[in-house]
Amino acid sequence: MTRARRGHVPYRARRATLRDGRTVTLRAVRPEDAGEIVQAFERLSAQSRYQRFMQHKRELDPHALARGVSPVPGREFALVATVPAYDGYDIVGAARYVASAQPKTCEFSVTVAEDWRGAGLAATLLRRLMLRARRDGYRAIEGFVLADNLPMLALARYLRFGVLPVPDDTTVCLVRRAL
Ligand SMILES: CC(C)(COP(=O)(O)OP(=O)(O)OC[C@H]1O[C@@H](n2cnc3c(N)ncnc32)[C@H](O)[C@@H]1OP(=O)(O)O)[C@@H](O)C(=O)NCCC(=O)NCCS
């Protein structure tokens, strides 16, 4: 089966119960999630935004947002964790991958809302993401992490990623593992 054909298999939404007993729905991102993603970004602290984007961001870039909610099937993928809210639903976590510059390798990012941390949500999102990436034909997954982002480095080690230095930049690490 080709990578593109595999990628067109829809992702089945599922519920997940976190360690603290709260439940979320995990599903593939949709174009209509854009507004909720903006709201989720606005709820993040300045530090979380900096850790995620490695720069100070006051708002999401509209082009990056448009691309993020319409991943290229079989090549890119994004999962969101949603919970019911007064206006329909909130996004409390998200993880995505895109193709990296290295062959058969994808690059991930992950974010969990501050009041949903510490319950295993990021690990659940990344594990699901890795299964999908492998099915899409990737054989390794990697991500750039600020060297002082201890929660993300701990999460990476917990999921058995290797942590590697980035040449000529001591402020950033590369975390990487085979799929
Ligand atoms: C990093 C981040 C995604 C972790 O989310 P989370 O849902 O709290 O992580 P989990 O609960 O799934 O953690 C799983 C494991 O990772 C490690 N870990 C995660 N956060 C940790 C922390 N703050 N301190 C120590 N270990 C931590 C632990 O081993 C943990 O397992 P344990 O709770 O059984 O000890 C979250 O802090 C975040 O969104 N940060 C801002 C965005 C960011 O930095 N993204 C990464 C760059 S792409």
Residue of 24, 97, 112 to test ligand 1 pocket, by largest number of atoms within 8 Å of CB? 112
| Number of the ligand 1 atom closest to the C-alpha atom of 126 | 12
Ligand 1 centre from 8 Cα, in Å?
30
- Which of 145, 134, 130 is closest to 175 using CA atoms? 145
CA distances 43 to 6, 17, 90, 111, 156, Å, are 35, 23, 11, 12, 24
Output the six-digit token pair for 6.
């595999």
For the segment 167-172, the average pLDDT, to the nearest whole number, is 93
Do 177 and 161 meet the contact criterion of CB atoms below 8 Å apart? Answer: yes
Please name each of the domains of the chain with its CATH number: 3-138 (3.40.630.30)
pLDDT tens sequence across 32-82: 999 999 999 999 999 999 898 888 888 899 999 999 999 999 999 999 999
What is this structure's pTM? 0.95
Tell me what pLDDT residue 9 has: 75
